[in-house]
Amino acid sequence: MIIESILTTLSPEGRINIAPMGVEWGDDTLVLKPFLETTTFRNVRDTRVAVVNLTDDVLIFARAAIANPEFPTHPASHIRGVVLDAACSWRELEVGTIDDSPPRSRIDTNVVHRGTLREFIGFNRARNAVLEAAILSTRTHLLPADEIRTDFRRLQVIVDKTAGPREREAMALLTDYVQDKLHGAAVR
């Protein structure tokens, strides 16, 4: 099963990278599959550690999908890494094996520590819609523009009906980003 998460990694020099990632979930092992050209892949390959953060704040997913945002963090407990302050829970990982066959790597990891900061409230329909829009925004170079526009219009209806302020802000951010990526053509 794939769980949508926010992966935090550090470069060897200590620069924080925050990226959304679907992670293959297991009890004591997780599988990461970052693309080879990403900062996430380079950081995990070079440091052999990462933190998987679980959060119900979709604005973090939206911002991380389109840039490397800064969010408050604190040091991980058992590895050289950071945990998002907005995480509900997290897993600290050490790399077991790396298969760097193109186009995506397969990184098998072992969970060395688990932590919890707060209760996971969950996702309503708007949060799910924003999460899907964030994923679409990372695929503008892979999917036909008309397909992305159609999906965004459908997702916007859900956000309009069920969102709170944070979900509306996240969807607006993603809509503007995708519109720019699709060369100014209206997404709404």
Note down the domain range covering 130: 125-181
Picking from 59, 92, 116, the residue at the C-terminal end of a domain is 116
Q: Which of 46, 45, 26, 34 lies closest to 7 in space, CA to CA?
A: 34
Q: Do 93 and 149 sit in the same domain of this protein?
A: no
Q: Residue 162 in contact with residue 123, Cβ under 8 Å?
A: no
- What pLDDT was estimated at residue 183? 80
Q: Are residues 88 and 56 in the same domain?
A: yes
Q: State the total domains in the chain.
A: 2
Q: Are 103 and 36 in contact (CB under 8 A)?
A: yes
Shared domain for 98 and 167, answered yes or no, is: no
| 153 and 65 share one domain | no
DSSP 122-164: ---HHHHHHHHHHHHHTTTTTS-HHHHHHHHHHHHHHHHHH--
Question: Would you call 129 exposed, middle or buried from its count of C-beta atoms within 10 A (0-12, 13-18, 19+)?
Answer: buried
Give the pLDDT of residue 186: 63
The pair of structure tokens assigned to 169 is 């802000």
Cβ-count burial of 166 within 10 angstroms (0-12 exposed, 13-18 middle, 19+ buried)?
Answer: middle
Same domain for 27 and 106?
A: yes
Give residue 137's pLDDT: 96
- Whether the bond into 72 is cis, omega within 30 of 0: no
In terms of Cβ atoms closer than 10 Å to its own Cβ (0-12, 13-18, 19+), residue 13 is: exposed
Structure tokens at 158: 């859900």
pLDDT of residue 103: 87
Same domain, residue pair 45 and 94:
yes
CA distance 10 to 28: 22
- Residue 97 forms part of a structural domain: yes
Q: Which two tokens stand for residue 91?
A: 């897993």
Note down pLDDT in tens along the chain; length 188 residues.
999 999 999 999 999 999 999 999 999 999 999 999 999 999 999 999 999 999 999 999 999 999 989 999 999 999 999 999 999 999 999 999 999 999 899 999 999 999 999 999 888 999 999 999 999 999 998 899 999 999 999 999 999 999 999 999 999 999 999 999 998 656 65
What is the Cα gyration radius of the chain?
A: 16
| Residue 112 and residue 143 in one domain | no
Q: What are φ and ψ of residue 187, in 5° steps?
A: -100, -30
Q: What is the pLDDT of residue 185?
A: 57
